[in-house]
Structure 1
């Protein structure tokens, strides 16, 4: 294989266990497996999360819900996103719980005429999806509860700045949702109240309510963009390849399109068969990224091509064709984290694993042992 993303489901389970221990026994864990589990494989990730004690799953599209059901995953399932057109019927038919925040969405559910479990979303300050007026949101809760074929099962929100420690807006949002949640709980005992993503889960126990919705932390990445180890989390994905070419270049020779890298000395250049079609962003250029070759940090050189990238192994390099290359993950004492790559790209770690493309096979395992139930 040109490159492979090895997904350690045992590490994922330990991360979920770490989250469960953090929130305590009175708070449910809803594992977010949208976007193919942030690039890790939705079905294997869902099964691992449930095995570790998560009791809910969350996705964004009807197709993602259907995929899980067809694979035999029967946990409580929440579709977080909007459901245009026929997607609403597909999600309901999959037995997923859906979200409403305005009259139009509720009217479509009523017109559908099928039994459905519903969560009402308050926009407490994200400015995206959700009802801004808590009075209207509360009225929607009553209308859902009064509909003969609908069940009000949840009330929710989402934080805009939970990952920015010390930011005051997080507290403002939390206060708005708490006031709404208290009124919902008073009128509808048993409704599940939830708002916390990974960052809010670790930032403030007051944000836990009845359930938390961890995503990035479950996959062993730090929601605060620092070091997952500081939160007791283990990276789940390790993306590797191998050298397919090793050759000497003299001083003054160039590597890659545009001749953006010209050797300043005699050196040895290795070629790695992973490019931007695989998820190696073209912005990862010379002086801006490193890879691990046989456990040694070496600089990426030249432009990232669609299918390959060069690395400068240095003068008199001993590396040979076939030597292992780590794009993301650890090799020996060295490691390249999603947070490091995100920092170089001026983005967030979420994007790093999501951008690993579909032509990179996912190999699911448990601490190095093949996982028979991953498919």
Structure 2
């Protein structure tokens, strides 16, 4: 069955990015890569296997569902679950040989009651105020882990609150100082806190393991991170975007000057126009906020959106692409010829970040490794 829109994943680009980050952290630091949220929209299993082949050591997921999917796909590498695991699901996690983040007594006590060995990582609250144990409560957890037989504290972790969206890293450095102080209370094998931005900016954050996120997929965490890397480290880090989102033309029609396009009559053509109908919409993850302001690529040229993004359809102007015809390949995100549409560009148009642009692409759309 032929799909009307699909995602192409560049194996070469993904391997390049993983190897580049391996060269940054060296061989003595574990490289753990985030494949949560369907590998940031890139395809969980497909991306995970390429990432491991490229030299990563561990994989990071958010949920039991993701971890179980990877195990069923034959992935036997260590998997670190960063999200909350319901107490009723903990035994499944143990049986799948997962590493779990923990930050409350209830989880640890239930794991111990299961009576099977499991390795966990304690999340330390250093300033992000999401998951994590506050410094004043550490003593309770020191005592708790001293009493466990089956639950092994393998690592301690934290997460930066303000390291990628700023050129002022003073808050991150305060977090780092606090993390080192809190981590010293535990005798653990692994300390980790570095995300993509920290990996590139601050080698002192690498510790025993890093957690590579969005930059594995060839995207910068922010423009501020790109500027800071160039300014502070002078490193030449080339990131290759991995994802291309494509569809096809379903119809080409002539629309006389003065007629409207789409719901709400929000677009009116000012000349006799050729409009191409594309079978993709906001159900697929193509944001409705892109209505009347984005463009797609057809035969290497830009075709601007006309009218509102519909649930399953968008309309684009191909008046200046006279050879455009039914079932021509269309790029929604990625490169075609000399033109490129980036996740950052689409994010700017709708007031969000590149992370959201790719992770919201519907999981039902096939991911094809090329």
TM-score, normalization by structure 2 = 0.92
From 309, 318, 334, the equivalent of 1:329 is 334
Contact kept in structure 1, 2:167 and 2:225, CA below 8 Å: no
Inter-partner Cα distance in structure 1 for 2:220 and 2:360: 17
Inter-partner Cα distance in structure 2 for 1:23 and 1:316: 47
Alignment of 1:206-217 (within 5 A): 206-217=204-215
**1:270-327 C-alpha deviation (Å, 9 max, x unpaired):** 11111111111111111x2111111101211101111110111235733222222100
Change (3 A) 1:30 1:43: same
Paired position in structure 2 for 1:25: 27
Inter-partner Cα distance in structure 1 for 2:18 and 2:146: 32
Change (3 A) 1:117 1:315: closer
**1:89-113 C-alpha deviation (Å, 9 max, x unpaired):** 2211110011211222222222222
Inter-partner Cα distance in structure 2 for 1:299 and 1:119: 49
SS in 2 for 1:89: helix
Alignment of 1:348-359 (within 5 A): 348-359=353-364
From 320, 328, 334, the equivalent of 2:325 is 320
Paired position in structure 2 for 1:158: 159
Paired position in structure 1 for 2:202: 204
Contact kept in structure 2, 1:120 and 1:155, CA below 8 Å: yes
Inter-partner Cα distance in structure 2 for 1:327 and 1:61: 29
From 348, 355, 359, the equivalent of 1:343 is 348
SS in 1 for 2:50: helix
**1:19-62 C-alpha deviation (Å, 9 max, x unpaired):** 11112222111011111211212122111111111111111111
CA displacement at 1:139 relative to structure 2: 4.4
Contact kept in structure 2, 1:271 and 1:311, CA below 8 Å: yes
Paired position in structure 1 for 2:238: 232
Paired position in structure 2 for 1:300: 305
From 114, 117, 120, the equivalent of 1:118 is 120
Quick check: 356-365 or 334-343, which moved more? 356-365
Inter-partner Cα distance in structure 1 for 2:264 and 2:279: 19
Query: Gaps spanning 5+ residues in structure 1: where?
Result: 366-375
Inter-partner Cα distance in structure 2 for 1:252 and 1:58: 53
Quick check: 328-337 or 107-116, which moved more? 107-116
Contact kept in structure 1, 2:164 and 2:224, CA below 8 Å: no
Paired position in structure 2 for 1:372: none
Quick check: 168-177 or 227-236, which moved more? 227-236
SS in 2 for 1:95: coil
CA displacement at 1:182 relative to structure 2: 3.5
Paired position in structure 1 for 2:98: 96
Paired position in structure 2 for 1:7: 9
Contact kept in structure 1, 2:252 and 2:326, CA below 8 Å: yes
Contact kept in structure 2, 1:256 and 1:302, CA below 8 Å: yes
Paired position in structure 2 for 1:221: 219
TM-score, normalization by structure 1 = 0.91
Paired position in structure 2 for 1:370: none
CA displacement at 1:9 relative to structure 2: 2.2
Inter-partner Cα distance in structure 1 for 2:278 and 2:201: 40
Inter-partner Cα distance in structure 2 for 1:354 and 1:4: 14
Change (3 A) 1:316 1:77: closer
Give the aligned CA root-mean-square deviation in angstroms: 1.9
CA displacement at 1:225 relative to structure 2: 4.5
From 269, 276, 281, the equivalent of 1:275 is 281
Paired position in structure 2 for 1:49: 51
From 127, 130, 133, the equivalent of 1:128 is 130
Find out whether 1:250 has 2:256 as its counterpart: yes
Inter-partner Cα distance in structure 2 for 1:316 and 1:85: 57
